[in-house]
Amino acid sequence: MRRFVSILPATLVLTVAIAALYVVPLTVRRATFAAAEARVQLARQTLDDDDLLDRLDQAFTSVADAVVPSVVHIEVRGPRRTFLGASGAGWIFDDQGHIVTNAHVVEQSQRIEVQFFDGRVVPARLVRADSGTDIAVLRVAETAGIIPARRASGQLLRQGQNVFAFGSPFGFKFSMSRGVISGLGRSPTSAVEFGGMTNFIQTDAAVNPGNSGGPLVDIHGRVIGMNVAIATGRDTQGTNESGQSAGISFAIPLATIDYVVEQLIAGRDPSSGFLGITLPPRDTTAVSGASFRGTGVLVDSVQPGGPAEQAGLRANDVIVRIDGERTPSVPVLQSVVASKRPGQEVAVEFWREREDALLSARVIMGEFTARQKNGQRGRSALARFLGVIIDDNPAGPVVSQLMSEQTADLGFERGQVIEQVGGKSVSTASDVGAELVDAGFLSGDEVEVVLRAEDGERRRVRISTR
């Protein structure tokens, strides 16, 4: 009897402990489950009561509804409808049947077919293309039912702005992706031909091969640019060729598109605005004064009688904005100027250190012709590919510098005068560049150049970018 009585308290304690080990966790779990369920119910109720996300979804779907009917899928074919492997996108520019796309999408085409959102496939002809800006205009004869895209002409873009990219990534037609403007004034050097435009819009919207030529639009469904290139793990400087997106894409701004397309439709090679200044090798200048701090582009000199001088700009002024658009680097300034029309009046803001003041001037733009632009592009390519620098001389365009020892193996020597390019006589360094472009040098064609040495000896060399 004593043994039973002595064991009873210990048994009770053990029973209570075991029960506690089981009941307490169960109670805690039930409380946790109840709290989780309460949070879920509250979240569901909040989502049901608040239509913010519904309205956001509706806004995004409205963008798609507004834009997709103005987007086209493009396929480039060869003889007998052979598919050349080139495809991309475009967008309807006007009700006359003009369609805008990238020049690289339709280059070397013999037959172009355009598919509308309703499934119709119709032939298109190439009106004209400008490889320097990578813009081409097509036209279709069938205009019934086409809906031109709305354009946000004159609207300034801002970093962080929501954007939507349309196109045919990897052949998935009429696709849409969303992102933000992650940068402005970008210069993806390998995305365009030498001497071509810069000042690209950078976005993080998903853009892949096949998106080229498709529109980039704002939250109102208005075109603000055109997809042209992506950064890949293999090429972070931008490519319009193969490769998967690394999350960075580039687009041509609408200001450039509007002006170039207008000239291409009119059958002209695009000219552009001309400011009449020379720029130093330094790309960016920090400005610091009593009333302004920022960055801009230093003016090395102004052309006598040119647009800038007539408006009151001087050497050593620092240009910080043109028509409200920042110009933090040389490529951006050049592209902003190139997007202006000859004869157009623009507002130039500049910093003048001697006066410690931010000033402004109204400049009437001069004209930079298509041949002058080609001259610049050709000279840039000659320097980049072959290391040959040419300058003007009283005797003619002269080889002033050889940047590579291998260049001499091609037959170039310092002091040689270039007499002919592609069978055509040249008298200036700009002529040399322009004739190189016309002869297909930038496309990899072989071009014959006639050189005259100081002793009068003539030499014929054949050059190519390949």
What average pLDDT does the chain have? 82
Q: Are 297 and 185 in contact (CB under 8 A)?
A: no
Provide the pLDDT for residue 213.
93
pLDDT in tens, 144-192: 889 999 999 888 888 899 999 999 998 899 999 999 999 887 776 544 4
Of the residues 70, 73, 104, 317, only one is catalytic, namely 104
Window from 47-61, 112-126, 229-243, 346-360 with minimum mean pLDDT: 229-243
Q: Which of 266, 297, 329 is the last residue of a domain?
A: 266
Q: Is 409 helix (H, G, I), strand (E, B) or coil?
A: helix
* H-assigned helices in 248-360: 254-265, 307-311, 330-338
Q: Which of 307, 339, 368 is the last residue of a domain?
A: 368
Do 421 and 277 belong together in one domain?
no
Q: Could you tell me the CA-to-CA distances from 312 to 235, 304, 306, 400, 415 in Å, in that order?
A: 43, 11, 10, 34, 38
Do 358 and 426 belong together in one domain?
no
Question: Which residue range is the domain that position 23 belongs to?
Answer: 2-50
Of the residues 87, 131, 212, 249, only one is catalytic, namely 212
Do 432 and 330 belong together in one domain?
no
The Cα 465–Cα 385 span in angstroms is 6
For residue 152, give the CATH number of its domain. 2.40.10.120
Query: Which helix (H) or strand (E) is 90 found in, with range?
Result: strand 83-92
Do 244 and 324 belong together in one domain?
no
Q: Which of 368, 398, 419 is the last residue of a domain?
A: 368
Q: Could you tell me the CA-to-CA distances from 450 to 115, 425, 461, 462 in Å, in that order?
A: 47, 9, 7, 9
pLDDT in tens, 207-241: 888 889 999 999 999 999 999 866 544 444 444 44
For residue 417, give the CATH number of its domain. 2.30.42.10
Tokens 């997809």 correspond to what residue?
A: 227
Provide the pLDDT for residue 372.
78
pLDDT in tens, 44-53: 888 788 788 8
pLDDT in tens, 252-308: 999 889 989 998 999 888 877 888 888 776 566 777 766 678 888 888 888 888 999
pTM of the model: 0.71
* Other Cβ atoms within 10 Å of 450 Cβ, number: 18
- Range 16-34 average pLDDT: 70
Tell me phi and psi for residue 92, to 5 degrees. -75, 125
The Cα 111–Cα 132 span in angstroms is 23
Do 38 and 19 belong together in one domain?
yes
Per-residue three-class SS string for 219-255: CCCCEEEEEEEEEECCCCCCECCCCCEEEEEEEEEHH
The Cα 73–Cα 120 span in angstroms is 10
Do 77 and 192 belong together in one domain?
yes
Do 402 and 315 belong together in one domain?
no
Is residue 73 part of the annotated active site? The answer reads no
The Cα 248–Cα 268 span in angstroms is 33
Do 381 and 444 belong together in one domain?
yes
Is residue 212 part of the annotated active site? The answer reads yes
- Range 106-118 average pLDDT: 88
Do 221 and 298 belong together in one domain?
no
Do 201 and 70 belong together in one domain?
yes
Is residue 70 part of the annotated active site? The answer reads no
Provide the pLDDT for residue 79.
61
Q: Could you tell me the CA-to-CA distances from 127 to 87, 98, 106, 144, 265 in Å, in that order?
A: 18, 9, 11, 19, 7
| Total of domains in the chain | 4
Do 93 and 231 belong together in one domain?
yes
Q: Which residue has the higher pLDDT, 154 or 321?
A: 321
Q: Are 415 and 453 in contact (CB under 8 A)?
A: yes
The region, left, alpha or beta by phi > 0 then psi within -120 to 50, assigned to residue 99 is beta
Do 116 and 197 belong together in one domain?
yes
Angle at 279 between CA 277 and CA 283, to 5 degrees: 145
Closest by CA to 419, choosing from 372, 461, 466, 371, is 461
Tokens 């435009």 correspond to what residue?
A: 197
Instruction: Please list, in sequence order, all residues whose beta carbon lies within 8 angstroms of the beta carbon of residue 277, skipping any fewer than 6 positions away.
Output: 299, 300, 301, 302, 303, 306, 308, 313
The amino acid present at 432, given as its one-letter code, is V
Of the residues 134, 218, 317, 431, only one is catalytic, namely 134
